[in-house]
Amino acid sequence: MTTELSGRTALVTGGNSGIGRATAVALAALGAKVVLSGRDAARGEQTVRQIEEAGGTAFFVPAELSDQASARALATRAAELAGPVDVLVNSAGVAHVGTVETTTEEDLDRLYAVNVKGVYHCLQAAVAAMKGRGGAILNVASVAAVVGIPDRFAYSMTKGAVLTMTYSVARDYVDQQIRCNCISPARVHTPFVDGFLARSYPGREPEMFEKLSRSQPIGRMGRPDEIAELALFLCSDAAAFITGSNYAIDGGFVTLKM
């Protein structure tokens, strides 16, 4: 089996930053034609240039994933640019810090719109494109889907939904040769983490970064490229016998922390 992806079209949401960006770059390096989407067009185009400079093929398509019509238009445009979607990576997501008491209805709706409805819309569009041909879907959840983490009420709710949507799609479409898996990272050093520290702990960023790093049993945060390696495997033919599975990639957080 091989991780070679030449001739395949990969659609990566949240592809302009963090895990999504690293995954888009890695997929292109293995020969996939990558269509990436995100809200920040400038960073999306920057990722496209990075892929093209390395000899790959990539396109950026803006989309509002919480809107069904926009998500469907994204899949249609991806097919026009690079061919029918063979691989979908649902990496787009937003975060929130708060308990059930401090989470407002607006907070909950915002997270649900992107993290749940956005994934649902992309799953629906991708499954329609893959039926009769087969394909690989990878959803990015979180350790928060399976472990209680303080002050992550709404975020945990949405990532739990991502995990169970993974199981459902895998079961419903296994006969169509559509594989659907999920990865659940712990803390990964992305621009979101840096922004969170700057907003929440101004002047104490190095101290709090070290504290968050030590919360992983392995003693550090993950890197986006490390998450992308697992994503590559699960999207490739090397994982042809894997579907309906969730993989913690967490520096031991789930099994060693509890």
**Blockwise average pLDDT, block size 10, the chain, 258 residues:** 84 95 97 95 95 97 96 96 97 93 97 97 97 97 95 96 98 98 96 85 92 91 96 96 97 84
Rg (CA), the chain: 17
The pLDDT value recorded for residue 215 is 85
Neighbours of 249 (CB within 10 A): 19
Q: What is the spatial distance between Cα 38 and Cα 21, in angstroms, rounded to a whole number?
A: 10
The pLDDT value recorded for residue 114 is 96
Architecture in CATH for domain 9-186+223-248: 3-Layer(aba) Sandwich (3.40)
The pLDDT value recorded for residue 167 is 98
Terminal C-alpha separation, the chain: 36
Neighbours of 161 (CB within 10 A): 18
The pLDDT value recorded for residue 70 is 96
Considering only CA atoms, which of 119, 120, 93, 96 is closest in space to residue 108?
Answer: 96
The pLDDT value recorded for residue 113 is 97
Among 112, 120, 155, 173, the active-site one is 155
The pLDDT value recorded for residue 82 is 97
Q: CA 27 → CA 31, 100, 117, 235, distances in Å? A: 7, 38, 25, 9
What residue ranges in 141-231 does DSSP mark as E strands? 178-185
The pLDDT value recorded for residue 196 is 81
Count, residues in the chain: 258
* Catalytic annotation present for 201: no
Helix (H) or strand (E) holding 153: helix 153-173
B/e letters for 89-121, b = 16+ CB within 10 Å, e = fewer, are: bbbbbbbbeeeeeebeeebbeebbbbbbbbbbb
The pLDDT value recorded for residue 191 is 85
Task: Pinpoint the residues of the chain covered by CATH 3.40.50.720.
Answer: 9-186+223-248
The pLDDT value recorded for residue 258 is 55
What residue ranges in the chain does DSSP mark as E strands? 9-13, 33-37, 57-60, 87-90, 135-140, 178-185, 246-249
The pLDDT value recorded for residue 4 is 83
Cα-to-chain-centroid distance, residue 92: 5
Query: What would the two tokens of residue 78 be?
Result: 């991806």
Q: How many CA atoms lie within 13 A of 143 on its CB side?
A: 22
Q: What is the spatial distance between Cα 123 and Cα 166, in angstroms, rounded to a whole number?
A: 9
